[in-house]
Amino acid sequence: MFKLEAVKCKKCGSGLLVELNDKITYCTSCGSGFEFINDEMVDIEINFAAASFRDEGELIYKPFWFIKTHIDILERTNTGGFISKMFGKDQDASFDLIFYIPAFQCPLESLKYLAQSFTAKNPVASPQKFNTKLTGFVYGKEDAKKLCEFILISFEAEKSDTMKTFSYRIDFKSFEILGVPFYKKANNVLKDGVLGIEYQDKQ
Ligand SMILES: [Zn+2]
């Protein structure tokens, strides 16, 4: 189902194909990205991750929020939590973290696992401009911010039954979109082409 709107790239004037319900669009002519906010086209940086392995199935690109932050851990009562193991930080740590938050519809457990795995491994050091399209963008910036907090807390909480206090501050520095390759398998299974995580799309 296509809604063929007469949308033109604000930067280069190329015609853009916009599907019904698309909330972002990427100009394959010049690499500009736009987010539709109240029918306005607002600039947003869009880049892509290269697949790190080949697999069977059609290759498609799904959008993640790629969010650069600075985190200050203000207080926590337990030690040995996942954050200190993962980042080698002491109590009262202060560090930069890039969150990878799926912006497409997928089951909550899968969304959480994808976000945790990609954020912990930071596997896309240098995203690139690709001549391809992105489909299925549904979660906006405010949703993404809440998911960043959820993921940060889950990093700390999951390895510890004893967490009593955990206070932090997240400074959101930039919001970009990252297209991540997925292989479409049989039975609605999707497998990402960077870390190889599979999930079943219920749709
Ligand atoms: Zn353009």
Extents of the domains making up the chain: 45-200
Convert the pLDDT of each residue in 23-61 to its tens digit. Answer: 888 998 999 999 988 878 999 999 999 999 999 999 999
| CA 146/CA 110 separation, integer angstroms | 17
pLDDT at 163: 61
**CA 94 – ligand 1 centroid, Å:** 38
**CA 1 – ligand 1 centroid, Å:** 23
Altogether, the residues listed in the chain come to a count of: 203
pLDDT band for position 175 (cuts 50, 70, 90)? very high
Q: Which of 160, 198, 192, 199 lies closest to 52 in space, CA to CA? A: 192
**CA 15 – ligand 1 centroid, Å:** 8
Whether the Cβ atoms of residue 105 and residue 21 lie closer than 8 Å to each other: no
User: Average pLDDT of the chain?
Assistant: 87
Instruction: Report residue 104 CA to chain centroid gap.
Output: 9
DSSP strand pairing (33-37 vs 40-43): antiparallel
**CA 44 – ligand 1 centroid, Å:** 12
Whether the Cβ atoms of residue 148 and residue 101 lie closer than 8 Å to each other: yes
What pTM value is reported for the model?
0.88
Whether the Cβ atoms of residue 183 and residue 198 lie closer than 8 Å to each other: no
User: 196: number of CA atoms within 13 Å, CB side?
Assistant: 5
**CA 18 – ligand 1 centroid, Å:** 13
Token pair belonging to 116: 């945790």
Asked if residue 107 has pLDDT above 70, the reply is yes
**CA 179 – ligand 1 centroid, Å:** 17
**CA 184 – ligand 1 centroid, Å:** 28
The SS3 of residue 118 is: helix
The SS3 of residue 183 is: strand
First to last CA, the chain: 16
pLDDT at 1: 42
